[in-house]
Structure 1
């Protein structure tokens, strides 16, 4: 007489399904039964409204999280990037004005330099003229003194 174990029932799977399990058939069945018992889900009900509702709530929570991140992080970052962009445009404008004014200042500086060079040359000519005038006076005094002494 063979003894029958009340805790054993047979379940058969194809060899492909058996390879996918990754656990014993008995463990799989026990885990499935525990899952359905704890979640109060009927495996025969393919249109499980509770599962649909949970999935819908999950999607809603994810969308709320994304909206919150958008308002807390993305919107301020976009505002700041717009401000930085405007500041860069202003900086480029100011830099161009500075370069333009530096160019004008360089031209004015060159004009003053040329005028100073011209004035320096004129002063040198005056100094040369004055020294030659002094020389002429000395020579004239010598001639006059010589004329007076000979007379």
Structure 2
């Protein structure tokens, strides 16, 4: 009994050994592996005699070219502007450092001047305080002297010296004015 759906092929023993090793490696039967090889070559339209496989090479080259093109596009779109902007930012930072160093020098100079001004203001405050104390002492002295003078005038009136009242008034106003001018 012969099955019409089965055909046989004769091939050398070396090819059978290679087919057996390949089938064992892939975990398939030789018959299944052979059928899959035929399907592969039929669908891919590759020539098994062409070991270099020009279609595969062409696809690989196209893939590599697409990858290189993508990398170049990313380089021009992202990397080059980033490098340019980084250089500009670095230059700005260097300029800002120079400016900040200059400001630091001015700040130190201003600090010295402010300390000097604070010292002088302290001296001025002490001087104003002394002057204020002197004015208070002068006013107190005038009040005491006025009391002494008023007491003197009152006592002189009680003694009754024979002096005209105009001369008394003139003496009193002169003494009071002299007291205010102290």
Give the stretch that moved more between structures: 22-31 or 120-129.
22-31
Matches within 5 A, 1:129-148: 129-145=134-150
Aligned to 2:44: 39
Aligned residue pair count: 150
> 2:118 aligned to 113, 121, 124, which one?
113
Task: Give the structure 1 partner of residue 108 of structure 2.
Answer: 103
TM-score, L = length of structure 1: 0.71
Q: 1:100 to 1:146 in 2, by over 3 A?
A: same
CA distance in 2, matches of 1:74, 1:23: 50
1-structure distance, mates of 2:77, 2:58: 28
Distance 1:17 1:130, change over 3 A: same
Q: Assess, with a 3 A threshold, how the Cα gap between structure 1 residues 52 and 14 changes in structure 2: closer, same or farther.
A: closer
Q: What is aligned with 2:91?
A: 86
Paired residue for 1:6? Answer: 6
Change (3 A) 1:18 1:47: closer
| Contact 2:41–2:47, Cα closer than 8 Å, also in 1 | yes
Deviation at 1:119?
A: 0.8
Q: CA deviation at 1:102?
A: 3.3
**Offset at residue 121 of structure 1 (A):** 0.5
Instruction: Name the counterpart of 2:81.
Output: 76
| Distance of 2:129 and 2:22 partners within structure 1 | 111
- The TM-score normalised by the length of structure 2 is 0.62
Gap regions ≥5 residues in structure 1: none
Shift of residue 143, structure 1, vs aligned partner:
4.6
In the alignment, the residues of structure 2 paired with residue 41 and residue 61 of structure 1 have an alpha-carbon distance, to the nearest angstrom, of 23
Larger Rg: 2
Verify: 1:26 aligned to 2:31, yes or no: yes
Alignment counterpart, residue 61 of structure 2, candidates 27, 38, 56? 56
Shift of 1:19: 3.8
